[in-house]
Amino acid sequence: MASSPTNDPPLPPVKLDPLAALLSYLIPGLGQIYQGRIGKGLLFFGGLYLLFFYGMSMGQWRNVWLPDATELPEVAFAGQTLGGVPKAISYRPQFLGQVWIGAAAWPGVYQYISFDKTKDEGPVFGKFQRMPEEKELNELQRNGNKRWDLGWVYTVIAGVLNLLVIYDAFAGPMFREASPEWLTGESENANTDAPAPAAVASPPDPPPVAMMPVFPPPDVPSAPPTPPTAQGGTP
């Protein structure tokens, strides 16, 4: 039997949350915590930061940086000569994936902006996420037993995975709270002019059953007593 159409209002539309997406970019999972999904946010925070910093430790904390490419050979792309950040990324494309981990990769951006080749360390972060010298880089790759290369792969994976975390915070939770109209059963789009369904007539009550009167049984006269007989005589 086909179900009859209902006038139930639809669920509220999906509301995008740019602020939560920004928070999850800065720190993985922070946008989900802001939305009240604390367990999911802590899972993203712990998982991605563990992957990112473990990858850095495998590379002796020297595998996340954006190089200073001012003195490197020119790079052309689509007939255009690249310069600045695009040129630096062309020499270190791994950073394009690492930067999506958020604030954890910002020291590399600061080291790129304040890079001074005449100094061995940066002004704030020292050598942390600073471009290593060519001699140091060769030693890391030669003596790292491939752990250095595997380490930056982990950092890239962590940054790319955070893109999914950012989108999850931007789109919001899958199950949304119902609007007041949904809870009360009212909706502006409800079809109030639709005719009410016809009432189904109930079958008539059966006629009453006549009750026959019950009379008590008539009195039955008892047999007359037998007259006594004379002693020794016959009746």
As a whole number of Å, the CA-based R_g of the chain is: 45
- Segment 188-198, tens digit of pLDDT: 555 555 555 66
Average pLDDT over residues 85-100: 95
Q: Does 204 map to a domain?
A: no
- Segment 128-158, tens digit of pLDDT: 999 998 888 888 888 877 888 899 999 999 9
List the domain range (segments joined by +) for residue 151. Answer: 18-180
- Segment 159-208, tens digit of pLDDT: 999 999 999 999 988 765 555 665 565 555 555 555 556 666 666 777 66
Q: How many CB atoms lie within 10 A of CB 86?
A: 13
Q: Does 211 map to a domain?
A: no
CB 86 within 8 A of CB 178: no
Give the position of tokens 């949304």. 176
Average pLDDT over residues 101-111: 96
SS3 at position 174: coil
pLDDT at 137: 87
Q: Does 13 map to a domain?
A: no
SS3 at position 85: helix
Mean pLDDT of the chain: 82
Q: Does 98 map to a domain?
A: yes
Q: How confident is the model at residue 223 (pLDDT cuts 50, 70, 90)?
A: low
Q: Does 138 map to a domain?
A: yes
pLDDT at 93: 95
Q: What percent of the chain has pLDDT over 90?
A: 51
pLDDT at 17: 94
The total number of structural domains that make up the chain: 1
Q: What percent of the chain has pLDDT over 70?
A: 68
Distances (CA, A) of 165 to 22, 24, 140, 211: 11, 7, 32, 81
Q: Does 33 map to a domain?
A: yes
Q: Does 6 map to a domain?
A: no
Q: Does 9 map to a domain?
A: no
Give the length of the chain. 235
Q: What is the pTM of this model?
A: 0.69
Provide CB contacts within 8 A for 40, sequence distance 6+: 29, 32
